[in-house]
Amino acid sequence: MLDIFLAYGAGLLTLINPCVLPLLPLIAAGAVARHPLGPVAMAAGMALSFTFIGMLVFWLTRAVGLQQEDISFFTGVLMIGFGAVLLIPRAQERFATVAGGVAGGSTAAISKVETKGLGGEMLAGGMLGLAWSPCIGPTLGAAIGFAAQG
């Protein structure tokens, strides 16, 4: 029983991630303005999205036959690549251009669905979960791994 509470706490810690925390008050305030239960529906959508993504990644790594060492190596190379992007101004500009286009399209899609009642808030939460998954992936992965051990 303690494992469940610890896993829940680890999941809550994903909210203090630097990518998420600054946006959370604004998103929650907007959800409350649209419906009093909007943040609850949005949180449910995020939880479902995070769970789906975690299970999908787990299933894909098993289906392809990736081992933990392979994943660690790949993510290490990916982190070095992101570090290089941050160090090289031209790479930063290109990455910002690509990311800006994706972010703009995502914002437009979320704006269309979140005005459709509680179902729209839940769908918007799911879309935010998809958008935030790369940012909170390590913390979320640790929480899922801890829950799976219990």
Residues 6+ apart with CB under 8 A from 52: none
Residues 6+ apart with CB under 8 A from 7: 143, 146, 147, 150
Domain chopping of the chain, boundaries: 2-149
The span from the CA of 36 to the CA of 34, in Å, is 7
| Residue ranges in the chain modelled with pLDDT below 70 | 1, 3-4, 6-8, 10-15, 17, 103-104, 106-107, 114, 134, 136-150
The span from the CA of 114 to the CA of 116, in Å, is 5
- Its pTM surpasses 0.75: no
pLDDT reported for residue 22: 79
Which helix or strand (DSSP H or E) is residue 10 part of?
helix 2-13
pLDDT reported for residue 145: 61
Q: Contact 42/121 with Cβ under 8 angstroms?
A: yes
pLDDT reported for residue 79: 79
pLDDT reported for residue 106: 67
Q: Tokens standing for 9?
A: 């706490």
Q: Please compute, for residue 73, the number of CA atoms within 13 A of its CA located in the half-sphere on the CB side.
A: 5
Cα separation values, 145 from 14, 35, 63, Å: 14, 34, 18
pLDDT reported for residue 96: 80
